[in-house]
Every structure is written in C-alpha cells, then in structure tokens.
Amino acid sequence: MIAENLLEIKDLSVDYAGGNKLFGKATPFRALKNINLALEKGKTLGIVGESGCGKSTLAKTIIRLLEPTSGQIIFEGTDITKLRGASLKNYRRQIAMIFQDPADSLNPKMKIEKILAEPLEIHGVKNREGRVRELMGLVGLPEAFLERYPHELSGGQRQRVGIARALALEPKLVICDEPVSALDLSIQSQIINLLLTLQNKLGLSFIFISHDLRLVRHFSDRIAVLYNGECVEDGPAETVYRAPQHAYTKKLLADRMPL
C-alpha cells in the first residue's frame, strides 16, 4: 500500500527583504533555498539544525505567516500558497502550532477556560464549554484548572494548556516548535509521551522542530537537516542517525550525541 502524503513542499524558497547591503543597496536575504520535503499522514517529520538555519522560517511559511518567494506547499493536494480569504482561513483551521515557551504564547490576563475557548469563538464552534472540558481531559489536566491563570500553573502544565489550545479545532497537522526545550528533563519526557499518545489517538501528523537530535530521533519517522537555509539531508530517522551522509549532520551528531 502506497503511503499518502499530507504535506509536500516543492522547491520552496523564502527571501527576507532588507538583508545585506551591496554598493549601498539592500539585497534580499534568502532564508530558505529550494526546500523539498514530504510528510505522510499520521507521521512525524523532524526538522533539525542550529539557530538561524531556517527552521522557524519554514514553520511560519507553512502556516502562511510568511509568503514564499517561490515554490509550492501542497496540503492534501492543494497548493496553499495561492489561498486567500475564506479558503486560507479554512486551511489555517487544519494547522496548529505548539510553541517553545508556553509562558510567551498564553495570554497572562486570561483564565485557562478563556484561552481554550478563544479559537472556538473565532471559528464559530458550537458547544464551546463541552469542547473546552474535552480538551482538558485530552491533555490530562483537571477541570478545576480552567479557573486559573497561566502563572498559577507549572511549566509542564502550561505546555499542556498550549497543546490543548493547538488541538481545539481538531487540526490534521501540528507544528511543534521546540516544544520541550524550556522544560525540565523529567517534564520533557511526560510532554513527549503525551504528544505520542495524542498522535496515536487522534491520527495527527507532526512537524517537530528541535536542535536536540536525540529527541528528534526518538520522536520522528523522518529527519530533515537544515543548514544555512538548505536541506542537506533527509531520510528515515534511524538512517540519518546511524549513517549520516552530509558533513554537517555528522558534525551535529558528533557535537551533541556521539555515535
């Protein structure tokens, strides 16, 4: 049986205006250079690389916070780079993002109940109260926490709220941008296990962005390595880990986790 791709990225390039000046004129900086990647339904694609390699730019382009300079992003057979208006809003409902530090992504002035209900209100979802309580159950938090503010929760609990909010509209793809790097090691494993449980239960597809190669290896089905805006290696997670082909991948492995 041939695997079905949820997402295909074809020859994607992204320029930032401004960049370096040459002869007194600002020249664009190319943050992503002809990226080609694919994500199967129900699977996880790990994106690794050091700061500035283009990981966050890729994530922002997939969710259409940034416009690509060239190339295509195919989601369930549709090139989403051409979507506008209601079609774009519908696409964004199917994509969610979990951020690095939940303290930065959760409104400190809102109670947890309001934080979870907000995306439901924006998209006109009915029975919001029931959905909010369902979300708390999915991420293993007591309903009593709905009356608390983010600062009244621990870091791990706040990240569970962030995950619940990401799942509010039943997305098909969740982009995890360094989702555990701000947490203690003991809490990291709990959050990763929660994500794996949710993936199996809900059939989610993940893009998992991290600089931690050990984490990416165990969480991902495939790994793509970015370096200076280019994808220098892409393959099954265990193959990239055990038999890296590119010098940069070998360096990352040697620096962070000796073979």
- Per-residue pLDDT of the chain (259 residues), as tens digits, is 556 999 999 999 999 886 566 565 667 889 999 999 999 999 999 999 988 899 999 999 999 999 999 999 999 999 999 999 999 999 999 999 998 877 778 999 999 999 999 999 998 898 999 999 999 999 999 999 999 999 999 999 999 999 999 999 999 999 999 988 878 888 999 999 999 999 999 999 999 999 888 788 888 999 999 999 999 999 999 999 999 999 999 888 887 544 3
Q: Give the residue among 43, 86, 91 at the shortest CA–CA distance from 65.
A: 91
DSSP string, 130-157: HHHHHHHHHTT--GGGGGS-GGGS-HHH
Count the domains in the chain. 1
Reduced to 3 states (helix: H, G, I; strand: E, B; else coil), residue 1 is: coil
Per the CB < 8 A criterion, the answer to whether 71 and 12 are in contact is yes
**Does residue 249 form part of some domain?**
no
Among candidates 68, 67, 72, which has minimal Cα distance to 38? 72
* Residue 162 placed within a domain: yes
Half-sphere exposure of 257 (CA within 13 A, CB side): 11
- Does residue 145 belong to any structural domain of this protein? yes
Residue at 154 is within a domain: yes
Q: Does residue 251 belong to any structural domain of this protein?
A: no
User: pTM of the prediction?
Assistant: 0.91
- Whether 112 is covered by a domain: the verdict is yes
Nearest to 162 by CA among 203, 118, 219: 118
End-to-end CA distance of the chain: 34
| Long-range CB pairs of 107-110, under 8 A, 24+ apart, other chains included | 107/150, 108/149, 108/150, 108/151, 109/149, 110/149, 110/150
Q: Which domain holds residue 164?
A: 100-170
pLDDT digits (tens, 9 = 90+) for 62-97: 999 999 999 999 999 999 999 999 999 999 999 999
SS3 (DSSP) at 16: strand
Look at strands 70-75 and 78-79 and give their pairing.
antiparallel
Give CA 211 to chain center in angstroms.
13
Whether residue 61 lies inside any domain: the answer is no
Tokens 């998209």 found at: 123
Whether residue 121 is contained in a domain is answered as yes
Amino acid at 165: R
Name the strands in the sheet holding 78-79, side by side, starting at the edge strand that comes first in the sequence.
29-40, 5-16, 70-75, 78-79
Q: Where are the alpha helices (DSSP H) in the chain?
A: 55-62, 85-93, 102-105, 112-122, 128-138, 155-167, 185-202, 213-219, 237-242, 247-256
